[in-house]
Structure 1
Amino acid sequence: MERLADQAADAARVRALTTDPDVIALRVERVRAQVDGLLWAGIVLGLAFTMVNVQSFAAAGAPAWSAAWWVAWLLDPMVSLVLLAVLRAEQVTARYQVALPTWARRTKWLTFAATYVMNTWTSWGLGDAPFSAAGVVLHSVPPLVVFATAETGPVLRDRLTEAVHRAVAAGPAPTAEQTPVVHDPVEPVVHEPAAEPAPRIAAAPVRAPRGGGRRKAAARPRRLLADYVRAASEALDTARDAGEQVDVTPAWCRQVTGCSAGTSVKVAAALRAAPASIDSARSRDSRPSAGEEVAA
């Protein structure tokens, strides 16, 4: 029995570590690194495959090793580098669930379309060469695979980030004793140097201007995590009373409360995990105290 109890205790500790949000986030980051590596390898290999056909299209029958033949090699890297720049930016923005502007997607599609057309031009029989169905298939597969990979990559990164958020939301909600104190960043107050009056006598001390002295910046009140949770809960109730469908995400909590990115994850977790406890805490805060009832 003691041995069985020890095994059960070990299993409970392993399960607690396995379901810990930080451990899950670490595992997701490892998977994210593997996914990014495989996606980038496929994109680079696909663009390298199209380089020869694009150079042949740009050379347009110029003699080998001539100036026009060498310059034709610059066309494919020019298009590919712009495409890789957009994909690299999209990799970072998708990690934090930020959408790219419209022109970024237009640039990506334009570079894909240019690469596909130049890569399959001769296979379609548009040049001096005859139409070749096998050539169309052969030279269409790499650009289309690169296009599909580039469109799928941001979605995969976004889902991996959402998996971390859901793991945090599924964890235990912080109690009042474990509620950390959140300090809002206070912007430094820049004081312009006051103009000092010129002394009449060199030995006379310089008098400070009236009302002088640097005023200390008024310290902003500290806000607890419970304050952010209460504000987000009130905003959620207001939205639901208005008939709006609200998805409690860290981005939504950050928008309605103005908290930081790290705090917004904890606020969303508290709203998802224990909505009933939040409502009861809010009703207790709105209930008058005993001293107020006597004064009334």
Structure 2
Amino acid sequence: MVNGGRRLPPTPAEAEAVEQVRKQVDRLCWTGILLGLAFTMTNVQSFAANGAVAWSLPWLAAWLLDPMVSLVLLAILRAEQVTARYGIRTRGWVRGAKWFTLAATYVMNTWEAYAAGSADMVVLHSVPPLVVFVAAEAVTDLRDKLSEAVRAAFTSAGATGPDTDSERASEPARDRSPEGKRRTSFDEYLSRAREAWNPDVTVTPAWIREVTGCSRGLSSRLAASLSAEVSGDEQ
């Protein structure tokens, strides 16, 4: 939002929109990776079966090769997401294993096309593994940067967002005693959120409301406070 040429801090609603984008990007990238690996499965099976009779033991065993490689690749990618988030560098074996599994998938998927000398089949069977390769390199960095954007947006929105009387009036009855006084303090809600937080969680107002049961108006400030603590711990 811009006012008189000066960009205003994001509102809680805008900050939640950033979180939704992060979730969508993460899901779309992983969906693309899974679809790409699924596409390669039949070609890898055909390569491994090497003309074996359908439903024979060698033919059935050939179906195990692609999932074996793909599961190792997915495990490495998931681990890299967590380590990259905390700035922890993995050793050469980890990156080597990722590149090897990607290269193995590509070679097994395109071998028959190269052997047949069919340029169009080479292109067709090259695209899915290459998309997986590019997405595998991008997904970790994308998720890390978008998580930083989410934390920055919620911290800014929570730090500058007004705690108006209308917000207080809209807080559900569970936050107030029968006499109109709050039964649960800000610090108590924050303590609950701390206990529920773990390194795989991105702190958002929606998550705060889920784990603490606080009101919508209070959740943005709680998210901002916890995000600031978590960012400080990571640094």
TM range (shorter): 0.5 to 0.7
What are the residue-to-residue correspondences of 1:84-163 with 2, within 5 Å? 84-125=74-115, 130-163=116-149
Where does residue 69 of structure 2 map in the other structure?
Answer: 79
Equivalent position amino acid for 2:10 in 1: T
Change (3 A) 1:117 1:72: same
Where does residue 27 of structure 2 map in the other structure?
Answer: 37
In 2, the alpha carbon distance for the partners of 1:69 and 1:33 equals: 39
SS of residue matched to 1:61:
coil
Between structure 1 and structure 2, the one with the greater Rg is: 1
Q: TM-score, normalised by structure 2?
A: 0.60
In 1, the alpha carbon distance for the partners of 2:18 and 2:227 equals: 19
Equivalent position amino acid for 1:263 in 2: E
Which of 206, 229, 233 does residue 263 from structure 1 map onto? 229
Where does residue 10 of structure 2 map in the other structure?
Answer: 19
Q: How many residues get paired?
A: 165
- Unaligned residue ranges in structure 2 (runs of 5+): 161-186, 188-225
Post-superposition offset of 1:263: 3.2
Kindly, what percent of the aligned residue pairs are identical? 59
Higher relative contact order (CA 8 A, sep 6+): 2
Equivalent position amino acid for 2:110 in 1: T
Post-superposition offset of 1:29: 2.4
In 1, are the aligned partners of 2:44 and 2:109 still within 8 Å (CA)? yes
C-alpha distance after superposition, 1:1-35 (max 9, x if no partner): xxxxxxxxxx9xxx98x724x65553332222111
Two-structure CA RMSD over aligned residues (Å):
3.3
In 2, the alpha carbon distance for the partners of 1:81 and 1:261 equals: 33
| Structure with the largest fraction of helix | 2
Deviates more, 1:28-37 or 1:138-147: 28-37
The reply to whether residue 50 of structure 1 matches residue 40 of structure 2 is: yes
In 2, are the aligned partners of 1:96 and 1:161 still within 8 Å (CA)? no
In 2, are the aligned partners of 1:123 and 1:135 still within 8 Å (CA)? yes
Post-superposition offset of 1:165: 5.0
In 2, the alpha carbon distance for the partners of 1:63 and 1:264 equals: 57
In 1, are the aligned partners of 2:10 and 2:156 still within 8 Å (CA)? no
